[in-house]
Structure 1
Amino acid sequence: MSRTYKAIGINLKGAPLGESDRLLTVLTREHGLIRVVAPGARKHHSKLGGRSGLFVVNELLISKGRSLDKITQAETLESYPGLSQDLAKLTASQYLAELVLCQALSDQPQEELFCLFNEHLCRLESLSSSSAGNGLASFGVLAHLAQAVFHLLALAGVAPQVQTCCVTQRPLTPDLNDDNWRIGFNMAAGGTIDLAELEHLGEGARVPSRTKNAGFQTAKGTQGNTSKPILRDRHSSTVTAMAPSTGQAIAAAAANYHVVNHQQKSSVPSLQLNAVELSLLQHLAQPELLQLDAFSLELEQNAFNTSAYQAAWLKVERILRQCAQYHFDRPIRSAALIDTCFLSVPTAP
């Protein structure tokens, strides 16, 4: 049996090991999540120094060890230097890396997760600097982060249901012309809920909870198995689960759920969303984010609108963050830095 194997992987986390080595946590397409030693990576002139950096994609030759495998060769295929030059982008990328670590499996191919994560890192890096000063750039980072989180939750099968009411299954159409329009949201129930049903939850009514089954649910609420939140594989000539060219929505939440009745967890509070917030959530399942440039002129002319849109995106991100922490049962440490990056943005009520 060969003592070496090849893999293409992206570095998610690194830590010092011994006098000059570095211990890397790498998401690979072929073998899933692995922990490998980069020998001598912390030496000044080490060839593995730059290749062991955060979010660097390498083609690796790895030798098996008794307890830890060791990198013997590495050739860089992709890197994202622009992420480290912008605090908001770097924080958003670390946030996504935490989610990937929550759902990545070891000893199993993880090509879909690998491609999806790389695609969203590329999108974040291509954004304008968040320090541009007009608020639009940081607004874009927040919006792209929210979509990336939604796509990762969809791939894991735990994205919230936002197209229909979780209880009645009636389609939801936000009225953007009505400032008083509201819809409920409850993570234990699986997503959005009509306000009338939300009041019943407050009275201790039993609510349906989703359990994952085969298949996917499209953004329009129809069943299908071809729309996955995966875009182009940037390191091969193939396309993996590409969204249809017609612009049809990609998988919004893991589909086909059994309905199981149980008491709502008291630790999961219900929320209310306005029309803008629900509309943004419903757009997140699309392969591409809605064109933020369409709002640029209006946002630049009206500072209130800028703050309102930013506040809506911030609330959307916090809802998705709570969903991730609820389903993965662990906190997202980078989320505190996201709050710091957007501290000046008012929180939507």
Structure 2
Amino acid sequence: MATYRDVAIVLRTHKLGETDRIITMLARGRGKVRAVAKGVRRTKSRFGSRLEPGMLVDLQCYEGRSLDTVTQAELIAPYGDFIARDYAAYTASAAMLETADRLAEEGQAVIQQFNLLAGGLAALAGQAHSPGLILDSYLLRAVAIAGWAPSFESCAGCGAPGPHRAFNLASGGAVCSSCRTPGSGAPRPETFTLLSALLTADWPVADASAPEVRREATGLVAAYVQWHLERGVRSLRLVDRSETV
């Protein structure tokens, strides 16, 4: 069988038998990969902890009919190890990995999604910003790469220049008074500013935001992402948002 090598981020793992695991990964070149790591649950496994969620690895596998098999995994960056030491970062990373897993099913823009996830995990591991802000920025940019870019300035319905006061999920973000439909929200102007900063990675603006603005933005981000994914991201319910209290 053919072998291949790629750089991958571990998204999740499942037990298989007594000593093996199925590893689901986002690979930079091949997209979503599911492979068996044999003996990984043994104490003396040659893979050690390199195939845990959040780890960035240099991977070698050989192709199988339904599942590939991991033959080698060299650690590039132990993001998962650093993130696991902080509960807020850990819960944020779980939501990021689940979202990446879901978006990888679409099979589009693999390299961009891989680079975005790697950058987000690096920011969490390095405590570059609040975990909640990193998560919300990742979520907005991930769905934008997938083709569902929100608008927080111009009207998502007719394109009229903003700022606007209403927000509508189905329309794709901010809407003017003419395009506003029943059920639209009316976030603070500062919330639109924060959302725009998160989408464009304008960190000085995002870092300076007030807790109440972050809370409102978080609710809109979660609703927007889950609207487009058409089913909930379960990990979002467990995210520690204590920094916004």
Query: TM-score, normalised to structure 2's length?
Result: 0.91
In structure 1, distance between residues paired with 2:26 and 2:157: 37
After superposition, the Cα gap between the structure-2 partners of 1:82 and 1:46, relative to the gap in structure 1 and judged at 3 Å, is same
Deviations 1:32-58 (A, max 9, x none): 001100110000111213111111111
Pairwise CA distance, 1:101: 1.2
**Alpha-carbon contact 2:15-2:21 (below 8 Å) kept:** yes
Once the two structures are TM-superposed, the CA of residue 292 in structure 1 deviates from its matched residue by 5.7
Correspondence 1:100 to 2:100: yes
Alignment of 1:62-141 (within 5 A): 62-80=61-79, 81-105=81-105, 110-127=110-127, 140-141=130-131
Q: CA deviation at 1:4?
A: 1.4
| Matched residue type, 1:66 | R
Q: Indicate the residue corresponding to 1:320 in structure 2.
A: 221
The aligned counterpart of 2:241 is: 342
Q: Does 1:170 align with 2:84?
A: no
Going from structure 1 to structure 2, the CA distance change for 1:343 and 1:77 (only over 3 Å counts) comes to closer
For structure 2, list consecutive stretches of 5 or more residues without a partner in the other structure: none
Report how far residue 63 of structure 1 moved. Answer: 1.5
Q: CA deviation at 1:154?
A: 1.1
- Whole-Å Cα distance in 1 between the matches of residues 76 and 94 of structure 2? 20
Deviation at 1:144, TM superposition (A): 1.8
Tell me the distance in 2 between the aligned counterparts of 1:286 and 1:109.
18
Query: How many residues align structurally?
Result: 244
Q: Supply the distance in 1 between the matched residues of 2:131 and 2:91 (Cα, whole angstroms).
A: 10
The structure having more radius of gyration, on CA atoms, is 1
2:6 corresponds to:
7
Deviation, structure 1 residue 27: 0.5
Equivalence for 1:147: 137
State the distance in 1 between where 2:229 and 2:199 align: 20
Runs in 1 of length 4+ with deviation above 3 angstroms?
A: 105-109, 343-346
Please tell me whether the aligned partners of residues 27 and 114 of structure 2 are also in contact (alpha carbons under 8 angstroms). Answer: yes
Q: Alignment partner of 2:149: what SS?
A: coil
- The equivalent residue for 1:131 is none
The aligned residue for residue 52 of structure 1 is 51
Q: Does 1:270 align with 2:184?
A: yes
Residues 135-162 of structure 1 show CA distances to partners (whole Å, capped at 9, x for unaligned) of xx7xx22122211111111111112111
Q: Give the aligned partner of residue 211 of structure 2.
A: 310
Q: CA deviation at 1:112?
A: 1.4
User: What per-residue deviation string (whole Å, max 9, x for no partner) do you get for residues 5-61 of structure 1?
Assistant: 112111000011101001100100111001100110000111213111111111111
| Separation of aligned partners in 2, 1:170 and 1:327 | 23
User: 2-side partners of 1:106 and 1:46: how far apart?
Assistant: 33
